[in-house]
Amino acid sequence: MSTMEATLRSGAQALALDLSDAQITQLLDFMALLQKWNKVYNLTAVRDPAEMLTHHLLDSLAAVGPLRRHLAQAAQAGAPAQRLLDVGSGGGLPGVVFAICCPQLDVSCVDTVAKKAAFIQQAAVTLRLPNLHGIHARVESLAGPFDVVSCRAFAALADFTRWSHSALGNGAVWLAMKGKHPADEIAALPAAVQVFHVEPLQVPGLDAERCIVWLRPTA
Ligand SMILES: C[S@@+](CC[C@H](N)C(=O)[O-])C[C@H]1O[C@@H](n2cnc3c(N)ncnc32)[C@H](O)[C@@H]1O
């Protein structure tokens, strides 16, 4: 087993994430693709493979447990979440990781940069992920409907929710991956947007504060 695979497996274990061998392989293949095409496409500033594993892969994987829980709750409530939009996905974080770990979910990654959307399309083919799509557009132009709209390292919460509002379907939620608890961004939200949970995340091998801010339109 390679060092990368051992680190990924122990990270998944620390996150109590159930991943099949096929999913572990897809995640490692995705990292390899990202490294290969980063030189050409300029997908991410992180270039060191070990750093890519902790700062990108494990960081995104930390949100998979909470996402799976949300999907299970929505299904139980009789309103299964079927489509997720990852906004400003860049090299596919966290969208590609979500598509690998939640195969029942249809994941669209939108980015304004054409080569980034093309990379996602290519990853979908290479990694055999029929539930993954790359969209070249501004999020403001998308109509949806999506059941979950996610982002990571994208924009302040007020901008993220304003620009992606029209992509939300009935009963949809926003999942914003953030660093430390963004009290100022939350305070700047309009009354039409409600935070219903701020969930701390622990990223294995990363000594940094992370959280998910869950939001929905105010009823
Ligand atoms: C800092 S990168 C984050 C990439 C990735 N989510 C990550 O965590 O590594 C932000 C991305 O948002 C994209 N972007 C900026 N404005 C956008 C918009 N209005 N609609 C869609 N994508 C946008 C940029 O092209 C860039 O790839």
* Ligand 1 binding pocket, CB closer than 6 Å: 44, 87-90, 93, 110-113, 116, 138-140, 152-154, 163
Q: What value does the mean pLDDT take over residues 121-145?
A: 97
Packing angle, helices 114-126 and 21-41, rounded to 10 = 150
Q: Which residue has the tokens 């993954």?
A: 132
Residue 59: name the closest of 160, 207, 182 by CA.
Answer: 207
Structurally, what CATH architecture does the domain formed by 60-217 represent? Answer: 3-Layer(aba) Sandwich (3.40)
| Total-model pTM | 0.97
Distance (Å, rounded) from C-alpha 206 to C-alpha 202?
A: 8
The domain ranges of the chain are 60-217
Residue 31: name the closest of 102, 123, 118, 109 by CA.
Answer: 123
Instruction: Specify which residues 42 forms β-bridges with.
Output: none
CA 78 / ligand 1 centre spacing (Å): 33
Residue 154: name the closest of 133, 130, 119, 182 by CA.
Answer: 182
Per residue in 35-79, pLDDT (tens digit) is 998 888 877 787 888 888 888 999 999 999 999 999 999 999 998
